[in-house]
Amino acid sequence: MDAPSDQRHDAIATALTAEIDRQAQAGASRIDVDALAQAVEDVIAPSPPLAEGKRPSELNSTNDD
């Protein structure tokens, strides 16, 4: 595998491991597949940070820094 594929694979494996461990610690009797899918989704395309900076349409000459 090339480096980006290795990084993606490692990130997915880490997310799955963490979610399975979390479920085990919570005493789950079955694996929550939806939670696993969400963990992978979060790693592949994380949510953008809330309220970071300004949108281009919000900038003007006085706040364009």
All structural domains of the chain with their residue ranges: 3-44
What mean pLDDT is predicted for residues 24-46?
A: 93
pLDDT at position 35 over 60: yes
pTM: 0.63
Question: How many C-beta neighbours within 10 Å does residue 19 have?
Answer: 19
Label residue 39 exposed, middle or buried (CB < 10 Å: 0-12, 13-18, 19+): buried
Q: Which two tokens stand for residue 50?
A: 């809330």
pLDDT at 45 (0 to 100): 85
pLDDT at position 15 over 80: yes
- The amino acid at residue 18 is A
